[in-house]
C-alpha cells in the first residue's frame, strides 16, 4: 500500500516537474535548452531518481512503471523480453526490478517508437545481451540527429549498440517464451514509428504513446505525428481491444477499454472545439483562454503536457 502510494507521488512529482520544464520551454530562448536545464535533461535526471514499481498483469507479463515510458516484461527460458527501455539513468532500479521478476538474462528488446523516454536505455540493455527489434523508422530516427520542435531539442545520433539490429515495416510475429507476440505499425500517429505489441495468449496489448492514460498526450509533429493520426490510431486500438483485454498505455496506469473510450472522446472533442475556434479566426492564445479542455484540465493537465501544450498540439493539426 505504502509502496504504491509512494511511487504514485513520485510519478506525479516527475510529471509535474517536466511539465514545468515544458512550460518554460515555450517561453525561454532556444540557447538555454542546449544545456542541462532543458526538458530532456530534466526528464532524464528526474526519472533516474524516481521509484520503479512492478505490476504483475497476467500470463507471466509484468509492467515496470516510473522509468520513462511503461516497460512490459515477459521472462522465460528464451531470456527476458522487454517492451521499451526507459531512461538510461534508471538502469540500477530497472535492473533491480527485473531481477525481482526472474533470474532470466535480458535477451530481447522491442522499442514501441523512437522517443528517448522509450529508447534511452537501449545501449545498456544491448550490452547485457538484448537484441533490439523496432519499426524501420525507429532505426532511422535513432541513426541520425533528429530534432523534436515540441521539446525544442535535437537528439544526437545514438551509439551503435542502441540502434535496433532488426526492423520491420508493417507487421511481425515473434515467438518467445512459449508466447506469441504480434507487432503492427500504426499509420503515423504520435510519431511515424509507433507500433503496438500484442501478447496474444495473455491478451495484453502495449499501445505505445498512441495512448496516455490520465495525462494529455504529446504529439510529435516533427517526426510524423498529428492529432488526426492520434485519433486514427485510437480508433484502430478500439477496433482491436475487447472488454477482457489489458491495455498498457505508453504513459499512465494500466487500462481497460472503457478508459480508452474516454481518451478517444477527449481527443475527438478537443479536436472539434479547437478546430471550430480556429475556423472563426481565433489565435492560439485566444483558444487557450477559451479553455476548451476545462472539464479535464484538473485531472489530465498536470503531467508532461499542460492544457496549453495539448491545445497547441491540436491547433497545429487542424
Ligand atoms: Zn513518445
Ligand 1 (single-atom ion) residues, CB below 5 Å: 115, 209
**Contact by Cβ (8 Å): 99, 106:** no
Q: How far is the CA of 276 from the centre of ligand 1 (A)?
A: 27
Q: How far is the CA of 208 from the centre of ligand 1 (A)?
A: 7
CA 217 to CA 44: how far, in whole Å? 18
The structural domains of the chain, with segments of one domain joined by +, span 2-316
Q: How far is the CA of 280 from the centre of ligand 1 (A)?
A: 32
Render pLDDT for 252-276 as a digit per residue (tens, 0 to 9). Answer: 999 999 999 999 999 999 999 999 9
Residues in the chain: 318
Q: How far is the CA of 69 from the centre of ligand 1 (A)?
A: 8
Q: How far is the CA of 190 from the centre of ligand 1 (A)?
A: 7
pLDDT band at 282 (very low <50, low <70, confident <90, very high): very high
Spatial neighbors of 24 by CB under 8 A, at least 6 apart, are none
CA 301 to CA 294: how far, in whole Å? 9
2-316 is classed in which CATH architecture? 4-Layer Sandwich (3.60)
Render pLDDT for 208-267 as a digit per residue (tens, 0 to 9). Answer: 999 999 999 999 999 999 999 999 999 999 999 999 999 999 999 999 999 999 999 999
Q: Are strands 251-252 and 146-148 parallel, antiparallel or unpaired?
A: unpaired
Render pLDDT for 102-158 as a digit per residue (tens, 0 to 9). Answer: 999 999 999 999 999 999 999 999 999 999 999 999 999 999 999 999 888 999 999
CA 63 to CA 138: how far, in whole Å? 22
CA 194 to CA 110: how far, in whole Å? 11
Amino acid at each position: 500500500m505504502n509502496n504504491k502510494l509512494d511511487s504514485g507521488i513520485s510519478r506525479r512529482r516527475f510529471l509535474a516537474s517536466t511539465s514545468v520544464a515544458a512550460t518554460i520551454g515555450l517561453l525561454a530562448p532556444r540557447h538555454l535548452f542546449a544545456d542541462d536545464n532543458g526538458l530532456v535533461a530534466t526528464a532524464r535526471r528526474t526519472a533516474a531518481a524516481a521509484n520503479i514499481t512492478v505490476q504483475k498483469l497476467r500470463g507471466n507479463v509484468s509492467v515496470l512503471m516510473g522509468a520513462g515510458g511503461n516497460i512490459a516484461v515477459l521472462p522465460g527460458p528464451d531470456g527476458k523480453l522487454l517492451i521499451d527501455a526507459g531512461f538510461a539513468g534508471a538502469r540500477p532500479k530497472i535492473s533491480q526490478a527485473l531481477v525481482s521478476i526472474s533470474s532470466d538474462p535480458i535477451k530481447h528488446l522491442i522499442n514501441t517508437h523512437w522517443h528517448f523516454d522509450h529508447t534511452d536505455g537501449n545501449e545498456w540493455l544491448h550490452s547485457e545481451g538484448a537484441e533490439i527489434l523496432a519499426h524501420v523508422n525507429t532505426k532511422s530516427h535513432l541513426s541520425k540527429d533528429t530534432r523534436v520542435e515540441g521539446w525544442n531539442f535535437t537528439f544526437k545520433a545514438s551509439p551503435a549498440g542502441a540502434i535496433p539490429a532488426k526492423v520491420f515495416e508493417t507487421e511481425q510475429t515473434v515467438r518467445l517464451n512459449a508466447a506469441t507476440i504480434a507487432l503492427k505499425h500504426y499509420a503515423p500517429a504520435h510519431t511515424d514509428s509507433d507500433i503496438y505489441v500484442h501478447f496474444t495468449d495473455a491478451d495484453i496489448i502495449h499501445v505505445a504513446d498512441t495512448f496516455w492514460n490520465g495525462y494529455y498526450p504529446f504529439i510529435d509533429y516533427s517526426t510524423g505525428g498529428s492529432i488526426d493520426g492520434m485519433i486514427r490510431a485510437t480508433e484502430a486500438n478500439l477496433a482491436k481491444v475487447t472488454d477482457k483485454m489489458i491495455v498498457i498505455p505508453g504513459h499512465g496506469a494500466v487500462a481497460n477499454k472503457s478508459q480508452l473510450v474516454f481518451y478517444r472522446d477527449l481527443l475527438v472533442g478537443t479536436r472539434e472545439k479547437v478546430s471550430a475556434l480556429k475556423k472563426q479566426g481565433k489565435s492560439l492564445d485566444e483558444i487557450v483562454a477559451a479553455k476548451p479542455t476545462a472539464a479535464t484540465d484538473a485531472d489530465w493537465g498536470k503531467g508532461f503536457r499542460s492544457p496549453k501544450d495539448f491545445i497547441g498540439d491540436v491547433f497545429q493539426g487542424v
